[in-house]
Structure formats: structure tokens, C-alpha cells
């Protein structure tokens, strides 16, 4: 990977961080409602894996912590922010909200609020790919908490049984909402849990994007070439609460501080600076540019966009203009 791409990757991670921090501000200003689950600390996971996939070609699905997966898949950040503001210009026309971003044009098939719900949907995309005969793969990002749902076991079984081209990425951030993994799960190494289903699997550091990309490349290649599932576990940590309402009582300040020293952006920035790819001033300028873009283009677009019309409340319950062969 050349220096230009390395700087772009750093910028993408920094953009993700600033985007999410701006969302938190907007939430406190009550511009964003509902539940808001932010991604700081985990940026290297979505960005590193999708860097090695083919966004816009491969299908991507995730849970409710979905903003960065959507953007890295190709969604316009303005459409993401407008959705959070509940606007008609949002990616889901203001009907979805933070947990339900969608962009089928970039094959980002959505964020979902039921933990573990996307497992079978991801396998379903893979089933469709298999039937159509393309070289796409389906990529499902979920957390460790999802692996205690029945859908995890049921889907792993069928994905392996039917050799479906689906990559399961487990972002293991050590907590299912506010319960530590060892208090909820017997086998804490998630990649070991798919062994009975005979799915190829591995585990790696999720904070160092170079490590993530290296493992993701192997995983993506496995799924794309062998046309069978793979399970990749990324060890990561969310630096903020589960959602905006989080007491933090379930983990110590020391633990959060310890993980903050493994911040994926700091790790990569330090590496690029050490290799003379990036200077301190470059980084500061990059950060400033990002914050200006977010404020002057993205947030402004969201603020200035129109609300959905109340007269359209019942639109989209059923598909407009869908086939009605009985009327022929």
C-alpha cells in the first residue's frame, strides 16, 4: 500500500471519529433522537475489513452501530447525517434513524436493531449470490454479544452446510451492552465457537488496521475464491458507552484508559509519522479539514434539509407501483 492510500486510510478513520463525535454533540443538542450507538475505538474494524473487500459490489450488513460501515460501503455521509436528523434527504428518507441506515445503491443492506437478526439475512444475500452465480460475497459485521443468539448457531450451520459465500466479522469489544463477555459466555474466544460448524476462522488484533487488513485479505479471498463462509474475530474495544445512555458502571476507568492507549487512530498515525509519511502539521491540517467538512457541508446539509411530509406517513408500508398481476 502506498503513502497516498495510507494517508487516505488514516483520514477515513479520523473522519469516522469526528463524524461520531459530532453525532454525540447533535444528540445532546436534541437534533438527533432515539438511540445512538457510536463507533469510536473500533474504526480499524469496519474500515480495515472493507478496505480489502469491494464496497458497492459486495453486500454489507450490520447491527445498530452502523454509521461507519455504511459510509465505508459508499454511502454519502451527508445522507447518513440527514437520516440521523430525521430528514427526507436521509438515506432512509427519515424513516429509519441511526440504527436503520440503508443504501442499496452501494449494497449496504442495512443496520438492524435486533441483536443477531442480521446473521440469516447475510446468509440470504449469499444464497442469492449463489443462485445468480456472481463473484460477490456477503459480509456481516456483528458484535460478540450477537453470538449468544440462536440465529448465530442456526445460521453458521446452514452457511456451512450450503457453502454460502459469507464473511462473518465479529467485532469483539468485550461487552454485550453492559455485561462483560466472561459473565455471559463460556467460550470467550468467539472464533472457536464456529469450529463445530467447520467454518474456517481466525482471531486478530482489531486496533491495528494493518493487522486487520492483512487478516481481512485472507478472509475475503477465502470466501470469494472458495465460495464458502469464513469467521473473522477482531479484538477491539469501544471507547464510549454502548449508547448515549450508559452509566459506565460495568467497567473501570483504568480499563478504558488502558484501551485508549491502543486507539486505532493513534497507532496508525504514529506509524505513518515514524515512516515520515505524515508530519504533525499534516495531521493537524487533516483533522481541521475533516471538522470543517463535517460542520460546513454535512451537518449544514442535514440541518437545511426538509422534514418528510406528514401526508406521506403511510407511504412505503407496501411497495409503490409493485406488480399486481391480478389487475391485468
State the minimum distance, in angstroms, from the CB of residue 34 to another protein.
12
Q: Which of residues 119 and 268 has its CB atom nearest to another protein in the complex?
A: 119
State the minimum distance, in angstroms, from the CB of residue 327 to another protein.
8
Q: What is the DSSP letter of 103?
A: B
Question: How big is the chain by its Cα radius of gyration, in Å?
Answer: 20
Q: Which of residues 10 and 122 has its CB atom nearest to another protein in the complex?
A: 122
State the minimum distance, in angstroms, from the CB of residue 227 to another protein.
13
What are the strands of the beta sheet with 166-172, ordered from one edge? 108-111, 59-62, 138-143, 166-172, 230-235, 200-205
153 burial (CB, 10 Å; 0-12 / 13-18 / 19+) is middle
State the minimum distance, in angstroms, from the CB of residue 277 to another protein.
39
State the minimum distance, in angstroms, from the CB of residue 256 to another protein.
32
Q: Contacts by 134-137 with C-beta closer than 8 Å and gap 24+? A: 135/224, 136/54, 136/57, 136/58, 136/59, 136/107, 136/165, 137/53, 137/58, 137/59, 137/165, 137/166, 137/167, 137/220, 137/223, 137/224
Q: What is the SS3 assignment for 263?
A: coil
Strands 108-111 and 138-143 turn out to be unpaired
Task: Give the C-alpha separation, 303 to 89, whole Å.
Answer: 11
Q: Which of residues 17 and 65 has its CB atom nearest to another protein in the complex?
A: 65
State the minimum distance, in angstroms, from the CB of residue 210 to another protein.
32
State the minimum distance, in angstroms, from the CB of residue 157 to another protein.
6
Q: Give the footprint of another protein on this chain (CB under 8 A).
A: 59, 90-96, 100, 102-104, 109-110, 112-114, 117, 119-125, 127-132, 150-151, 154-155, 157-158, 161-162, 315-320, 322-328
CA-nearest of 109, 106, 107, 105 to 96 is 109
Q: Which of residues 74 and 120 has its CB atom nearest to another protein in the complex?
A: 120
- Listing DSSP states for 200-262 in one string gives EEEEEESS-HHHHHHHHHHHHHHHHHH-S-EEEEEE---SS-SSSS---TTS-HHHHHHHHTT
State the minimum distance, in angstroms, from the CB of residue 102 to another protein.
4
Amino acid at each position: 500500500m502506498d503513502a497516498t492510500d495510507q494517508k487516505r486510510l488514516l483520514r477515513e478513520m479520523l473522519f469516522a471519529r469526528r463524524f461520531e463525535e459530532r453525532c454525540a454533540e447533535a444528540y445532546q443538542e436534541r437534533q438527533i433522537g432515539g438511540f445512538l450507538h457510536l463507533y469510536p475505538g473500533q474504526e480499524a474494524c469496519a474500515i480495515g475489513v472493507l478496505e480489502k473487500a469491494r464496497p458497492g459490489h459486495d453486500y454489507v450488513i450490520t447491527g445498530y452501530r452502523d454509521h461507519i460501515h455504511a459510509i465505508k460501503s459508499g454511502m454519502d455521509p451527508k445522507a447518513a447525517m440527514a437520516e440521523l436528523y430525521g430528514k427526507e434527504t436521509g438515506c432512509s428518507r427519515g424513516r429509519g434513524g441511526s440504527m436503520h441506515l440503508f443504501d442499496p445503491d452501494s449494497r449496504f443492506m442495512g443496520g438492524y436493531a435486533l441483536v443477531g437478526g442480521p446473521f440469516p439475512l447475510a446468509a440470504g444475500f449469499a444464497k442469492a449470490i449463489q443462485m445468480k452465480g456472481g463473484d460477490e460475497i456477503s459480509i456481516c459485521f456483528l458484535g460478540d454479544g450477537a453470538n449468544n443468539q440462536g440465529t448465530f448457531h442456526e445460521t453458521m450451520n446452514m452457511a456451512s452446510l450450503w457453502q454460502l459465500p459469507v464473511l462473518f466479522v465479529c467485532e469483539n469489544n468485550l461487552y454485550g451492552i453492559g455485561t462483560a463477555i466472561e459473565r455471559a459466555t463460556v467460550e470467550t474466544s468467539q472464533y472457536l465457537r464456529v469450529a463445530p460448524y467447520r467454518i474456517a476462522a481466525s482471531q486478530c488484533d482489531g486496533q491495528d488496521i494493518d493487522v486487520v487488513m492483512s487478516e481481512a485479505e485472507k478472509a475475503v479471498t477465502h470466501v470469494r475464491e472458495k465460495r464458502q463462509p469464513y469467521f473473522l474475530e477482531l479484538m477491539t474495544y469501544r471507547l464510549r458507552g454502548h449508547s448515549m445512555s450508559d452509566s459506565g458502571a460495568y467497567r473501570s476507568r483504568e480499563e478504558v484508559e488502558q484501551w485508549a492507549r491502543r486507539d486505532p487512530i493513534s497507532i496508525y498515525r504514529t506509524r505513518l509519522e515514524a515512516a515520515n509519511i505524515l508530519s504533525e502539521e499534516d495531521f493537524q491540517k487533516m483533522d481541521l479539514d475533516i471538522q470543517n467538512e463535517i460542520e460546513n457541508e454535512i451537518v449544514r446539509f442535514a440541518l437545511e434539509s426538509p422534514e418528510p411530509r406528514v401526508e406521506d406517513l403511510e407511504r412505503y408500508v407496501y411497495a409503490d407501483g409493485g406488480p399486481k398481476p391480478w389487475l391485468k
